[in-house]
């Protein structure tokens, strides 16, 4: 798993497999309870963090992380495309 999308898909596939082999009601209730716990922890953690960090600072940090993840995704796609096309990533050819 390399991206959050991969983790999401793997989690969905695991849930489908678990529901197929186990009690559907138990899997459903377990998913609801687990999601509720994770969401509750995120809300409480966010409220605690908001008491220490300025909203503008968090917005700036979020924007910078968005740009960084976008650049990383672009880099991964370009390096994969170059590897498929030329057999060796372009950045490795520059080192030769």
pLDDT, tens digit, 9 for 90 and up, residues 41-69: 999 998 898 889 898 998 999 999 999 99
pTM exceeds 0.85 for this model: no
**Structure tokens given for 35:** 């999601």
Cβ atoms of residues 31 and 15 within 8 Å? yes
Give the pLDDT band (50/70/90) at residue 24: confident
Pairwise CA distance, residues 55 & 51, whole Å: 10
Mean pLDDT of 71-82: 79
């Amino acid at each position: 798993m390399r991206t959050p999308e991969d983790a999401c898909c793997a989690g969905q596939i695991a849930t489908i497999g678990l529901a197929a082999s186990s009690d559907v009601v138990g899997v459903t209730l377990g998913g609801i309870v687990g999601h509720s716990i994770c969401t509750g922890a995120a809300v409480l953690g966010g409220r605690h963090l908001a008491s220490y960090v300025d909203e503008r600072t968090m917005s700036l940090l979020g924007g910078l992380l968005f740009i960084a993840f976008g650049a990383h995704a672009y880099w991964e796609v370009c390096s994969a495309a170059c590897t498929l096309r030329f057999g060796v990533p372009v950045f490795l050819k520059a080192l030769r």
